[in-house]
Structures are given as C-alpha cells and as structure tokens.
Amino acid sequence: MTGNLIAILLAGALVGYLLFSFIRAGRRSSRPASSHTKVLTDSNFREVIRKGVTLVDFWAAWCQPCRIQGPVIDEVADEVGDKVNICKMNIDENRKTAGMLGIRSIPTIMIFNNGKPVKTLVGLRPKTVLLKAISEYVRL
C-alpha cells in the first residue's frame, strides 16, 4: 500500500515538473527575436550563406525542443551577430532546402563557411557549445 502511494506521488511530481518545464519554455520562446537574427527561405538561402560564417537553426513551430533552442539562437545572435550570420529556417515552410541538406531531425544547427557546410549539430545545444563551434571558423 505504501509503495503504491509513493509511486503515485512520484508520478504526480514528474507530471508537475514536465508541465512547469513546458510553460517555462513557452514563455522563453515568446521572447522577441534578436534584430541580429535573419530569417532564411528557400529563395534567399544560397545568397545569405555564400560569404563568411553562417549559423543556421533549422526548426519547426510544432517542435518543442526547437521552441527552447530558438531563444538560445537569439542570444548567440545578440553576442556575435556583427561577425557571423545567425539565421533561422522553418523547415515546414522551406522543404526544398531542408531536403537538399538532408535535415531529418530538428532542431538541427548547421554552420557554413563561404557557402560550404562545415559543422552539423543535432538536438538542443547550449549557448556555450554554439559559441565554441562558431569560434572554430571565426575569431570571436
């Protein structure tokens, strides 16, 4: 009997924690995008990544991890947006480019150097990891 009560309490605590995490992530994702973040489309993708170092966050609106990653991308843009192109591309609206690059999981973050893909990160990544990845190609 006591074991069942403990299991129910633990399950309730887990559900409460998950609910709190989703609400908190939703609040973070409603943060205004950085003025340094560019929105990419199938039509402007090649032109934007052509020169210099570009970080692209491939995401979708229905993806909860993407909603968590988005504000992190904006923080990176605020910090290094004058040296690096920091971009976001909605894969649901831009299927051609996502297909061409073989994007299968999101969030996927790709770094391009003069138009060529040089690094791919799949899944949620903290700001420190993104800055380190960028610093391999440009001095921050």
Among all residues, which ones are annotated catalytic?
63, 66
Task: Report how far residue 38's alpha carbon sits from residue 23's, in angstroms, rounded to the nearest whole number.
Answer: 26
Task: Report how far residue 66's alpha carbon sits from residue 45's, in angstroms, rounded to the nearest whole number.
Answer: 20
Task: Report how far residue 44's alpha carbon sits from residue 14's, in angstroms, rounded to the nearest whole number.
Answer: 44
Beta strands in 4-135 (DSSP E): 37-39, 53-59, 85-90, 108-113, 116-122
